[in-house]
Amino acid sequence: MPMLPIHPTTDLALPDSFAAAVKPARPDPMQAAAKQAAQQFESHFIGQMLHDMRRSSRVLSDEKETERSGEDMLDMADTMVADQLATQGAFGIADLMLRQVMPSAASSFKSALPPVASSEDKP
């Protein structure tokens, strides 16, 4: 049985006629925009949570207004941490949102979570 040559664009051992018909999948612009929006929401959510935690710790420590040096830098650092966590999908909020908004594309997004229940699933 002769070996088929590996096609350069697909890395598969397919006949040239079939490999020519197989084209690399293009990312859907709607999916990319939805993913970016979901990540931005997750970043904002995490940033707000960090901001609220920092504010609560100030209240509990009875920190005075005059002792808040570097508060702007801490807020900026919180924003950067939130952006990085959202990019990594650390909390999974973006994945859950994408599964609700675009269930047909859920398999293309990184997630090991079970399907999100909808109101239609209830008896």
Mean pLDDT for the chain overall: 75
- Per-domain residue ranges of the chain: 36-103
pLDDT digits (tens, 9 = 90+) for 87-108: 999 999 999 999 998 877 655 5
> Under a CB-based contact definition with an 8 Å cutoff, are residues 109 and 98 in contact?
yes
Cα of 18 vs its chain's centroid, Å: 35
Determine what percent of the chain is predicted with pLDDT higher than 90: 30
pLDDT at 112 over 50: no
Report helix, strand or coil for 6.
strand
| C-alpha–C-alpha distance, residues 60 and 54, integer Å | 10
